[in-house]
Homo-oligomer: A and B are copies of this chain.
Amino acid sequence: MNILIKNASVLTMTGDIQLMNADTSIAIENGKIKSIGQIPEGFKADRIIDGTNKLAMPGLVNSHTHIAMSLFRNYADDLPFWTWLFDRIMPREEKLIPEHVYWGSMLSIVEMIKFGVTSFADMYFFMDEVAKAVEETGIRASLCIGLSDSGDQEKKIRNTKEFYDNWHGKANGRISVMAGPHAPYSCGPEFLSKVIDMTSEKGMGIHIHLSESKKEVEDSYNLRGKSPIKYVDDLGVFELPTLAAHCVHLSDDDIAILAEKKVSVANNPGSNLKLGNGFARVEDMLKSGINVALGTDGSASNNNLNMFEEINLAALINKGYTGDTTSIPATTAVKMATLNGAKALGIDKEVGTLEAGKKADIIMIDLNKPHFYPRYNLVASLAYSAQASDVETVIVDGKILMENYELKTIDLEKVMFNAERCAKSLIK
């Protein structure tokens, strides 16, 4: 289907995050952006979307989450971390069956589409269910099975291989698959080496949690005499394209390693605050050249999947933390949630900016709201005033997933009903 967006303001996020004003057209053909600016001669649109008083921009990328954990949203809050994890979350996770993961994933995908997320990176289990939900709904995702070294290691390696073979590149390329060794503290050196061998052989990337809590880093020094970053680097993890989630507690040496090895970092400000882990050195990481993206983490520790909140948090808390009002300006925060996210997922050749030849992952923001007036600086608006609920239209892979606030591929009531039903059966 050919789509023509007319008369929109357009934020391309290319080069100097180019903003094109109010009378710009975007032509979409066979799922890709054909042109931005003038309508190409002879272009025939099957659908025309009026962009008057709307801003078209790249869809947001949620670079680290566990979407099925929506089933535990608002179930365990304001608790000490270990109570939260061991007494509340893990006993319920043990009861999870594939159906639960499917409906939890559907609930989160609904939420993400409504809030302008077009791609996400997910780590969990029963990942076939997540992949099915991605395929059905039309969103884009990088998926991995979370791996720890307990139990049958060979079987775990095999599962990831199979998951890769079954799903990588599927759904018209909307699904990509990574290996997901959970974290240094759950993956010993022997297992991690096996994961690296398999990942390397398949040409996959790696998605891993690193240096999330102060305790994790202290334990690593006590056990191994080095930081979690140095530990996985010494084993060779960073020779593969790596998406490292959290990276809150970093030494200067850690930052130098991440920069040298071109590791992408998924910064999760909301989750890091809520779980008492504090403030990542975002400014320092960006200055050293690290690609820092933004993520929500799971909605059991957030408690939503609202990337506009993460953009806002990134732009605010780094100023508070450094005392420097110029830290993480609006442009940087928005870039972290778009182009940097696409880079972190390894899909920046396809999405992350709006430009001719790229896939059409586009969201449109309804600017006809009081908090968008006066109209001085739309990029500042996105970081400091916008609401996720201002997202009015969502296009992924050239397909309209939401238009005029209405979901086109998902029965919302059915999803909410089934998510509630699954949650009840887990908690009783």
Interface residues of A (CB under 8 A from B): 70-71, 73-75, 77-81, 84, 107, 110-111, 114, 214, 270, 272-279, 299, 302-306, 309, 312-313, 315-317, 319-327, 329-330, 368, 370-371, 373-378, 380-381, 383-385, 387-390, 412, 415-416, 419-420, 423-424, 427
A interface majority secondary structure? helix
Instruction: Report the Cα distance A322→B278, complex, angstroms.
Output: 8
Q: Can you name 10 A-B residue pairings with CB atoms under 8 Å?
A: A71-B374, A74-B381, A81-B325, A84-B325, A114-B370, A274-B316, A303-B381, A370-B415, A373-B419, A387-B387
Q: Is the CB of A111 within 8 A of B389?
A: no
Q: Nearest CB to that of A415 among chain B residues?
A: B370
Q: Is the CB of B273 within 8 A of A316?
A: yes
- Closest 3 pairs (CB-CB, A-B): A374-B423, A78-B329, A273-B320
Residue from B273, B330, B370, B424 in contact with A416 in the complex, judged by beta carbons closer than 8 Å: B370
Instruction: Report the Cα distance A312→B74, complex, angstroms.
Output: 13
Residue from B73, B214, B317, B330 in contact with A373 in the complex, judged by beta carbons closer than 8 Å: B73
Q: Nearest CB to that of A272 among chain B residues?
A: B320
Residue from B214, B309, B385 in contact with A304 in the complex, judged by beta carbons closer than 8 Å: B385
Tell me the minimal C-beta distance from A76 to chain B in angstroms: 8
With a CB–CB cut-off of 8 A, which chain B residues contact A73?
Answer: 371, 373-374, 376, 385
Q: Is the CB of B75 within 8 A of A376?
A: yes
Q: Is the CB of B277 within 8 A of A77?
A: no
Q: Is the CB of B278 within 8 A of A384?
A: no
Q: Is the CB of A326 within 8 A of B78?
A: yes
Q: Nearest CB to that of A275 among chain B residues?
A: B325
Instruction: Report the Cα distance A389→B390, complex, angstroms.
Output: 9
Q: Is the CB of B374 within 8 A of A111?
A: no
Residue from B273, B305, B368 in contact with A317 in the complex, judged by beta carbons closer than 8 Å: B273
Instruction: Report the Cα distance A271→B77, complex, angstroms.
Output: 26
Instruction: Report the Cα distance A75→B299, complex, angstroms.
Output: 33
With a CB–CB cut-off of 8 A, which chain B residues contact A277?
Answer: 320
Instruction: Report the Cα distance A323→B270, complex, angstroms.
Output: 14
Instruction: Report the Cα distance A183→B84, complex, angstroms.
Output: 43
With a CB–CB cut-off of 8 A, which chain B residues contact A326?
Answer: 78-80
Tell me the minimal C-beta distance from A110 to chain B in angstroms: 5
Tell me the minimal C-beta distance from A68 to chain B in angstroms: 12
Q: Is the CB of B420 within 8 A of A373?
A: yes
Q: Is the CB of B376 within 8 A of A74?
A: yes
Q: Is the CB of A325 within 8 A of B111?
A: no
Q: Is the CB of B77 within 8 A of A330?
A: yes
With a CB–CB cut-off of 8 A, which chain B residues contact A276?
Answer: 319-320, 322-325, 327
With contact pairs A380-B303, A419-B374 given, residues A74 and B385 touching in the complex (Cβ less than 8 Å): yes
With contact pairs A73-B376, A385-B74 given, residues A320 and B317 touching in the complex (Cβ less than 8 Å): yes
With a CB–CB cut-off of 8 A, which chain B residues contact A278?
Answer: 320-321, 323
Q: Is the CB of A77 within 8 A of B384?
A: yes
A71, A320, A384, A419 pick with most chain B CB within 10 angstroms = A320
Q: Nearest CB to that of A108 among chain B residues?
A: B370
Q: Nearest CB to that of A109 among chain B residues?
A: B370
Known: A74-B385, A303-B381. 12 other contacts (CB 8 A): A70-B374, A73-B374, A73-B376, A74-B374, A74-B381, A75-B374, A110-B370, A277-B320, A278-B321, A304-B371, A309-B312, A389-B390
With a CB–CB cut-off of 8 A, which chain B residues contact A416?
Answer: 368, 370, 373
Q: Is the CB of A316 within 8 A of B384?
A: no
Residue from B70, B79, B419 in contact with A325 in the complex, judged by beta carbons closer than 8 Å: B79
Q: Is the CB of B370 within 8 A of A111?
A: yes
With a CB–CB cut-off of 8 A, which chain B residues contact A329?
Answer: 77-78
